[in-house]
Amino acid sequence: MTEFPAQNDTEKHFTRDNPGNIRIAMSSHKNILIRGIQGVGKITNTMKAVRDDPNVHYIGNPLDYEGKRRPGSFEKYLQYIRSLKGDLNLVEDISTLFDASSDIILIIDEIYGRSAEQMEQIGRLLDAEHIQVIQIVGCMKYMGRLIEKMDIIIDLHHDCAFTVDKALAVAACSIFGKSEPGIFS
């Protein structure tokens, strides 16, 4: 996996090109959190950013950040995502990624509703040297303690993006996430 330089300066200046903004973050950070409101293009821009990258894996979630089922169906949602990157590897069993022998870019779509076992596995994936993780969320508070493993937090908007200070993100998760059972255990 690419070695990422230590980043003391978390302030990044992005342009209106959100796929380009994500590529900038990928070039210098291992674990990337992309946050944004519904419909802002978190997945679409991420898939555009990794379009030409090999060995991209995707872990889906039939629920959005409010716990609602994906519009239409989860299968229809996956078809849309596959249409953005035909060679995308859909992950059915997270444990298979731990033994991968090559570098991986892993997109994890939404954290809401994941079991304690899945959260533990995601934590291990964030620690794995050969896996660059892009975590997509609608609401940061569901990250729980996993927020501490993020190297950069990007708040995505329709026409721009900016970084969120990690200390602020950790504080927000610990305050607002307290009401969510299990995410800080």
- pLDDT surpassing 60 at residue 180: no
| Average pLDDT of every residue of the chain | 85
**pLDDT tens across 113-168, in order?**
888 888 899 999 999 999 999 999 988 888 888 999 999 999 999 988 888 888 88
Reduced to 3 states, what is the DSSP secondary structure of residue 74?
helix
Q: Is the pLDDT of residue 57 over 60?
A: yes
* Residue 182, in any domain of the structure: no
Distance between CA atoms of residues 138 and 42, nearest Å? 9
Query: Considering the domain boundaries, does residue 3 fall inside one?
Result: no
Any domain includes 10: no
CATH label of the domain that carries residue 167? 3.40.50.300
Domain-embedded: residue 95: yes
Residue 7 lies in a domain: no
Domain that holds residue 80: 18-177
Check residue 87 and give its pLDDT: 96
pTM of the model: 0.87
Span 77-120, pLDDT tens digits? 899 999 999 999 999 999 899 988 899 999 999 888 888 888 89
Statement: residue 183 has pLDDT above 80: no
